[in-house]
């Protein structure tokens, strides 16, 4: 059976940064540690006023194509995953293809283009669509381009404001992939939820505290569903576990839940018994409240053990390095987490080919998806080619007052002349609806 998976990755961050400890917290009269320690974030990325989901997606895609020597004829499918779309008729992928056709010989007339929406999980769903298309033998030798691109904005003053972010991740899904091979081991947790929605509105209506609970509930269901296909899994089966990362503090909670679930009845639980006791079993409690309280106590104790701390530091913390500096990218977030983990492995000289990743995606509304992947032989070369560190270092640091103007500018005020904070160079820029040109 031919392996199918992610063959190439490219990341494009919005070119502006808002430092949460230095700039946001003082303006809000908050303790900076609420953001740096509580949420686990250092900064958010924002698009400059000449950037949007199309330009960020097209710029990521162009770098990916150039680096891999691809022409439009090599790509048979372009799917964009986004929850920031501005056109209710044609998909954002047509706008991105239009940009790319301006700079390549040839066009994408042969390519199937679409747009996937299910909040943040849509990026992973688009990868699935591409995988299925290739596995079904309908790709005629061509690869699929998947672009997860979002501008994650909340209303000013909303508790979610500290978790904003903007950027795009372009991924090539192909046969004999260089980065990761996808598997058929996959599980879902899905339910109709109303804690985070945007019915015909720019900013989400969010019940933030509930959204955290819904994320964890759906993730637990997805883990159980995953195990019904893949069999019992052990926390040490995986080199890294990238989760959807609205902010790193959310992943700290998800990782604890995953670890507890995977260790029940294992050698790890046995090893922890003297220190913190065995995990509570529902059957041992008369009512649900008492059972939940016992779980909370167990989790609090578990979090403090060296066993958990070491596992978390090795398997989960490296997935958060980029996210800490860019915030929530919605559809791109889990793919940034994967890239972050692989980048850490490359930087520390770790051998990863053949090792497994457990990837936990999530979208409000709500759906969690968990699948396993196997790292492929060419991962290191691909990850070392990323220039995300340079992009992060080049970002313009916004003052709080400038941040306010940028926030307004991206709130559908794009028709008027807007100040620019950085100078574009050899990239796609927004020049008015329907006209996106390359400026050098």
Residues that bind ligand HMG (CB under 6 A): 31, 33-34, 37-39, 83, 119-120, 159-160, 162-163, 196, 206, 208-209, 211-212, 215, 244, 246, 249-250, 328, 330, 362-364
CB nearer ligand HMG, residue 93 or residue 164: 164
Q: Count CB atoms within 10 A of the CB of residue 395.
A: 22
Residue 222, classed as helix, strand or coil, is: helix
Cβ-contact 171, 8 below 8 angstroms: yes
**CB of 32 vs ligand HMG, minimal distance in Å:** 8
Q: Count CB atoms within 10 A of the CB of residue 131.
A: 20
**CB of 211 vs ligand HMG, minimal distance in Å:** 4
* Residue with token string 């964009």: 80
CB nearer ligand HMG, residue 212 or residue 346: 212
Instruction: Answer whether the bond into residue 299 is a cis peptide, omega within 30°.
Output: no
CB nearer ligand HMG, residue 10 or residue 83: 83
**CB of 119 vs ligand HMG, minimal distance in Å:** 3
What is the SS3 string spanning 291-333?
Answer: HHHHHHHHHHHHHCCHHHHHHHHHHCHHHHCCHHHHCCCHHHH
CA distances from 117 to 102, 121, 149 (A): 27, 8, 11
321: Cβ–Cβ under 8 A, 6 or more apart, which residues? 340, 343, 344
Residues 204-211: contacts with CB under 8 Å, at least 24 apart: 204/154, 204/160, 204/364, 206/154, 206/158, 206/159, 206/160, 208/159, 208/160, 211/364
Q: What are the helix (H) ranges across 44-91?
A: 53-67
CB nearer ligand HMG, residue 155 or residue 418: 155
DSSP codes, 365-400: TTEEEEEEEEE-TTHHHHHHT--HHHHHHH-EE--H
**CB of 296 vs ligand HMG, minimal distance in Å:** 12
CB nearer ligand HMG, residue 151 or residue 374: 151
Cβ-contact 366, 345 below 8 angstroms: no
| Nearest residue to ligand HMG, scored by beta-carbon proximity | 38
CB nearer ligand HMG, residue 206 or residue 388: 206
**CB of 370 vs ligand HMG, minimal distance in Å:** 15
**CB of 305 vs ligand HMG, minimal distance in Å:** 17
Q: How far apart are the C-alpha atoms of 142 and 134, rounded to whole Å?
A: 8
Tokens of 383: 């990850």
**CB of 317 vs ligand HMG, minimal distance in Å:** 16
CB nearer ligand HMG, residue 172 or residue 219: 219
Q: How far apart are the C-alpha atoms of 413 and 217, rounded to whole Å?
A: 37
112: Cβ–Cβ under 8 A, 6 or more apart, which residues? 76, 77, 78
Q: How far apart are the C-alpha atoms of 409 and 403, rounded to whole Å?
A: 10
**CB of 35 vs ligand HMG, minimal distance in Å:** 8
Q: How far apart are the C-alpha atoms of 323 and 53, rounded to whole Å?
A: 18
Which amino acids are annotated catalytic? 83, 120, 244
CB nearer ligand HMG, residue 209 or residue 412: 209
């Amino acid at each position: 059976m031919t392996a199918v998976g992610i063959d190439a990755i490219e990341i494009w961050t919005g070119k502006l940064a808002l430092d949460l400890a230095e700039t946001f917290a003082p303006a809000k009269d908050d303790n900076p540690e609420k953001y740096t320690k509580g949420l686990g974030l250092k900064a958010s990325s924002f698009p400059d006023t000449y950037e949007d989901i199309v330009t960020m997606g097209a710029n990521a895609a162009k770098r990916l194509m150039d680096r891999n020597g691809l022409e439009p004829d090599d790509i048979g499918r372009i799917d964009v995953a986004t929850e920031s779309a501005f056109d209710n008729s044609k998909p954002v992928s047509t706008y991105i293809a239009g940009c790319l056709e301006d700079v390549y010989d040839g066009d994408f007339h042969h390519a199937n283009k679409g747009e996937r929406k299910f909040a943040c999980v849509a990026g992973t769903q688009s990868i699935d669509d591409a995988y299925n298309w290739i596995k079904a033998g309908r790709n005629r030798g061509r690869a699929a381009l998947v672009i997860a691109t979002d501008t994650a904005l909340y209303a000013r003053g909303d508790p979610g404001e500290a978790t904003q972010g903007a950027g795009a991740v372009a991924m090539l899904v192909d046969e004999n992939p260089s980065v990761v091979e996808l598997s058929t081991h996959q599980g879902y947790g899905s339910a109709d939820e109303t804690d985070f929605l945007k019915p015909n509105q720019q900013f989400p209506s969010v019940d933030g505290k509930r959204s955290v609970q819904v994320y964890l509930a759906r993730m637990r269901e997805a883990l159980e569903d995953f195990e019904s296909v893949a069999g019992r899994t052990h926390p040490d089966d995986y080199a890294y576990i990238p989760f959807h990362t609205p902010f790193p503090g959310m992943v700290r909670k998800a990782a604890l839940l995953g670890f507890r679930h995977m260790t029940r009845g294992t050698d790890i639980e046995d090893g922890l018994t003297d220190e913190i006791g065995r995990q509570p079993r529902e059957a041992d409690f008369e009512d649900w409240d008492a059972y939940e309280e016992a779980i909370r106590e167990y989790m609090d104790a578990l979090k403090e053990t060296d066993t958990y701390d070491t596992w978390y530091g090795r398997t989960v913390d490296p997935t958060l390095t980029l996210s800490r500096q860019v915030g929530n990218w919605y559809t791109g977030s889990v793919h940034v987490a994967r890239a972050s983990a692989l980048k850490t492995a490359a930087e520390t000289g770790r051998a990863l080919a053949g090792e497994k990743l457990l990837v936990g995606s999530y979208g409000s509304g709500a759906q969690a998806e968990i699948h396993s992947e196997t790292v492929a032989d060419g991962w290191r070369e691909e990850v070392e080619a990323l220039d995300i560190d340079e992009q992060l270092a080049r970002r313009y640091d916004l003052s709080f007052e400038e941040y306010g103007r940028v926030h307004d500018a991206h709130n559908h005020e794009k028709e008027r002349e807007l100040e620019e904070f950085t100078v574009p160079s050899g990239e796609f820029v927004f020049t008015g609806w329907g006209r996106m040109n390359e400026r050098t």
